[in-house]
A and B are shown apart, each in its own frame.
Chain A
Amino acid sequence: MSMEHQLGSGKKWLTLSQLDQVKPESLKADPLRHLRPLAFHLKELHAAGKTHGALTPEDVRFDAAGVLDVDHLKSTASPLGKAPVAREHLLQLQQKDAMDWATWLYRAMTGHAPPVGDDGGNLSRSIFDEPGSAGYDARLREVVESVLARGPDAPCPSFETLCGSLPPPIILAEPVSAPFLNAKVKPVSPPALPVQRHPNATSRLPNGTVSRPIRVDLPALLTLDTGSPVKDVTLNPEGFPGLTYDGTFVEGSPSEAGEFEVVVSYRFADHGSGQPLLKRWLTFTVNPNPQSLWKNLASDQTDPFAKPDTASFAETAAPFPLLAASVRGRSHAHVGSFRDDDFAVTFWPETGWYALTVADGAGSAKLSRRGSQIACKVVCEVLTGQLSSPETDPLTGPATKWMEDTESAPAPAQVRNPFYNLLGNAALRARVALEEEASREGATLRDYHTTLISVLARPFASGWLVASFSIGDGVAGLVGAPEGTIPLLTKPDGGEFAGQTTFLTVKDVLATSDSVFARLNCVRVPSFTALLVMTDGVSDPKFHAEAEFEDPAAWQTLWDEIQPAVIEDSRAVTGTAPALEKWLEFWSPGNHDDRTLAVLAPHIPTA
């Protein structure tokens, strides 16, 4: 083993036989790393009308960088290879070079010499059947077979052909350390065999996802890929983690994420059983299940503008259940940022009015959590200023007249104007409060971008009056109003694409009385089951198109989902709404915004 040749420059070499003994795993992991330069050199040699003719593993040696010592190789060539020889003789010697090279390649891949059959020099067993060779590119194995298993009369492929058929250089999973010359280096565990695919010899299953069931007709897939019907399809090893194969279907739920490969064998349907079994790779990519990737990081509650990640409130003193809950969306939880939504619900027993307000801070506005918070707070204050006492209540008088009026007309000016004044003013004051906050904090109004929906409701002898005001997305609507009533109360602002909406803090939104009136709606209904006010974190997943906002059945379906939680919370009388909070955590792929929902439910079944 101490066959290191010291050259004048102090260079050290390792021969192929030494490599085989000292660092076989390096050879095995990437046999072409050393054998490719040899093949290319031999190709040039043969093209020049020469040959080596007497290759031994001692003739082939490499330096520390893996560079072939060409001079040495030339100096050890058979004398016959150096002088011009008769063509047949030359061809024979060139063939020998190819056989030697291919034999070393075989040995590197399988760990043993090729088993020779009785028919003189040919493989008695295909390299494809050698379990040790399963990790190698099919092209590489085909190259070996083309030399060693070509049949007694077939011509040996030239190095020109062989070099052109080799797979490209690969990148090992772990770098092989250079100092393989030092025999005392402890062998590391073999690097993972590289996974490579030959485009023509690979079939792919459609990608899967962990825990999502699949069912694929494998013979049908192979028929498509090969262009001809197939039969006798088997997999080796048995298949992929989590899946079973019954001869036709690959099915089950993948249990692991990753890239997987097995060898699939098959025959063409019109071939007899004596015909060769064909093989190709079957690859399968399994994605992790996104549900398992979502992180839940607590937000920094020491931040000056921190807000709890979850909040809820239930008004215990109102005759009818009035409650709201707001939870941080998964997008924010994934990065530990704050909930940007907010809400306020109030009942004034002195005047009998209910108010439900929700606000959604824009994701890209850095203080929008504060924007939604201040908006809800100020709206609540302004409404309380008028509605907490009959003396200051501007709404009930005009509203009563209209409710007693049997003509089915839209709300007349005398009714709309007080609502315009109150709700429009509340929104305006909220905006002013945000401007003041921005100025105090050295921020801009844009940093506080928030939507706002505010709904007032009061029961009268003949039914309910409901008035809504909205800026931005999210919706308010009625469940269970009499047939023919449009359930939708508000007109959401949207754009061509998702996420495009407007905000309380946008300049022109409250600029004219027309623009304010356009956002106001006043309706009277004899009765309804529930009034729902929500941010788009709830309306987006639960309504599949704008058209559904006007479909009473869609609202009913949503209510059916929510009702049990509302009943539970209203009976518990704790002042909070934990069941509704829990409902708001429903899973909906692609919908990970903050979610806020306020509910007024005059027709909850009593215990």
Chain B
Amino acid sequence: MSSRNPSDDPSLMRRLPVYLLLDTSGSMRGEPLESVKSGLKAMISVLRQDPHALESLHLSVITFDREIKVILPLTSLDQVQMPEITCPDSGPTHLGAALEVLCAKVDEEVRRSSEQGKGDWRPLLFLMTDGSPSDKALYQQMIPEVKRRGFASIVACAAGPKAQTTELQPLADHVVTLDTMDGTGFLSFFKWVSSAVAAGNVSNGAAPNLQLPPPPPEVNLVF
């Protein structure tokens, strides 16, 4: 063992990888997307005050509409500079393709334990969508693939009146709904995500799935 220290060499530290999959389809355009952006900003701000998160949390943001964009590859929280998030005017919601990209990124980015290196903590996935996947066949195909990646928890948020919770239940461990797609709704959701992530940092892998903290009033736990 060299006198290498995790302070000096980030590759020596166990990280908590958190993936956010955000629907940026046309129906999110305008206030909903602005609210998501503010919510994200607030979430990062809250997490920056938590020592666990500042040291271990790594965040990735993937948006999906017609295209899938990895707008933030897995990045240490202290280095996150959130790039611009945009919505096309209209178009399909390719959630299936998003899950495909997610699996590829997880395989590439998340470290598993090996002789040579320390494994990360089990990753977390938070998905937000306001509608239904347009690529249903691919979506169904990808569900078992996502499950195979070992997420400690998969939380799906069905935002607004058109979101379908039944479609999300086979994928997610927990499904929540947001009645309103405005600032307050998304802010509550993202703040709840922060506290769930903070809990994820602390609890060690003894329980098979992450115990989530109780959600705030704007966020309804469906399952």
Question: Which residues of A are interface residues toward B (Cβ below 8 A)?
Answer: 199, 204, 206-207, 209, 285, 287-288, 290-291, 293-294, 330-331, 334-335, 362-365, 449, 494-501, 503, 540-548, 551, 553-554, 557-558, 587-593
Known: A293-B49, A589-B13. Is A496-B113 also a contact (CB below 8 A)?
yes
Cβ A288 vs Cβ B54 within 8 A: yes
Cβ A207 vs Cβ B117 within 8 A: no
Contacts of A335 in B (CB 8 A): 202
Cβ B115 vs Cβ A591 within 8 A: no
A590 is contacted by which of B2, B3, B14 (Cβ under 8 Å)?
Answer: B14
Cβ B206 vs Cβ A499 within 8 A: yes
Q: Mind listing 23 A-B residue pairs with CB under 8 Å?
A: A204-B81, A207-B79, A290-B55, A293-B51, A294-B51, A334-B52, A335-B202, A365-B206, A449-B206, A495-B205, A497-B113, A497-B121, A498-B119, A498-B120, A498-B205, A503-B206, A544-B1, A547-B116, A554-B1, A557-B1, A587-B7, A588-B5, A590-B13
Known: A497-B113, A497-B119, A498-B120. Is A363-B6 also a contact (CB below 8 A)?
no
Contacts of B202 in A (CB 8 A): 331, 335, 363
A542 is contacted by which of B1, B14, B51, B117 (Cβ under 8 Å)?
Answer: B1
Known: A500-B205, A557-B3. Is A285-B81 also a contact (CB below 8 A)?
yes
Known: A199-B84, A288-B49, A545-B115. Is A209-B78 also a contact (CB below 8 A)?
yes
B222 close to chain A: CB less than 8 A: no
Contacts of A207 in B (CB 8 A): 78-81
B99-137, CB < 8 A from A: 112-122
Cβ A287 vs Cβ B54 within 8 A: yes
CB distance from B103 to the nearest CB of A (A): 15
B177 close to chain A: CB less than 8 A: no
Alpha-carbon separation in the docked complex, A331 to B81 (Å): 27
Cβ B1 vs Cβ A497 within 8 A: no
Of all chain A residues, the one with the shortest Cβ separation from B3 is A557
User: What are the interface flags for B196-223 relative to A under an 8 Å C-beta threshold, 1 for contact and 0 otherwise?
Assistant: 0000011111110001000000000000
Of all chain B residues, the one with the shortest Cβ separation from A292 is B51
Alpha-carbon separation in the docked complex, A497 to B120 (Å): 6
B46 close to chain A: CB less than 8 A: no
Q: Quick one: which of B7, B115, B120, B206 has the most chain A CB within 10 A?
A: B206
CB distance from A478 to the nearest CB of B (A): 15
Alpha-carbon separation in the docked complex, A481 to B150 (Å): 40
Known: A207-B78, A288-B54, A551-B1. Is A545-B6 also a contact (CB below 8 A)?
no
B12 close to chain A: CB less than 8 A: yes
Alpha-carbon separation in the docked complex, A288 to B45 (Å): 11
Cβ B112 vs Cβ A496 within 8 A: yes
B50 close to chain A: CB less than 8 A: yes
Of all chain B residues, the one with the shortest Cβ separation from A560 is B3
A540 is contacted by which of B118, B120, B211 (Cβ under 8 Å)?
Answer: B118
Looking at chain B's contact residues, the main secondary structure is loop
Contacts of A545 in B (CB 8 A): 114-118
B27 close to chain A: CB less than 8 A: no
B150 is contacted by which of A496, A543, A588 (Cβ under 8 Å)?
Answer: A496
Of all chain B residues, the one with the shortest Cβ separation from A503 is B206
Cβ B81 vs Cβ A364 within 8 A: no
Cβ B115 vs Cβ A547 within 8 A: yes
Alpha-carbon separation in the docked complex, A364 to B202 (Å): 9
Contacts of A290 in B (CB 8 A): 51, 54-55
B204 is contacted by which of A287, A334, A364 (Cβ under 8 Å)?
Answer: A364
Alpha-carbon separation in the docked complex, A330 to B54 (Å): 14
Contacts of A551 in B (CB 8 A): 1
Of all chain B residues, the one with the shortest Cβ separation from A502 is B206
CB distance from B123 to the nearest CB of A (A): 8
Known: A207-B78, A364-B203, A589-B6. Is A498-B1 also a contact (CB below 8 A)?
no
B78-95, CB < 8 A from A: 78-81, 84
Alpha-carbon separation in the docked complex, A449 to B203 (Å): 13
Q: Quick one: which of B6, B116, B121 has the most chain A CB within 10 A?
A: B6
Alpha-carbon separation in the docked complex, A364 to B121 (Å): 14
A588 is contacted by which of B7, B81, B118 (Cβ under 8 Å)?
Answer: B7
Cβ A293 vs Cβ B81 within 8 A: no
CB distance from A197 to the nearest CB of B (A): 11
Contacts of B204 in A (CB 8 A): 362-364, 498-499, 593
Alpha-carbon separation in the docked complex, A364 to B117 (Å): 25
Alpha-carbon separation in the docked complex, A429 to B52 (Å): 37
Alpha-carbon separation in the docked complex, A588 to B120 (Å): 16
CB distance from A299 to the nearest CB of B (A): 15
Alpha-carbon separation in the docked complex, A305 to B58 (Å): 36
Cβ A543 vs Cβ B206 within 8 A: no
Cβ A497 vs Cβ B52 within 8 A: no
- Taking A364-B204, A496-B150, A544-B4 as given, write out 18 further A-B residue pairs in contact, using a Cβ cutoff of 8 Å, ordered by the A residue number: A206-B79, A207-B78, A287-B48, A331-B202, A496-B112, A498-B120, A498-B121, A498-B122, A499-B122, A544-B1, A545-B117, A546-B113, A554-B1, A557-B2, A557-B3, A589-B55, A591-B13, A593-B204
Alpha-carbon separation in the docked complex, A591 to B55 (Å): 9
B56 close to chain A: CB less than 8 A: yes
Alpha-carbon separation in the docked complex, A553 to B5 (Å): 16
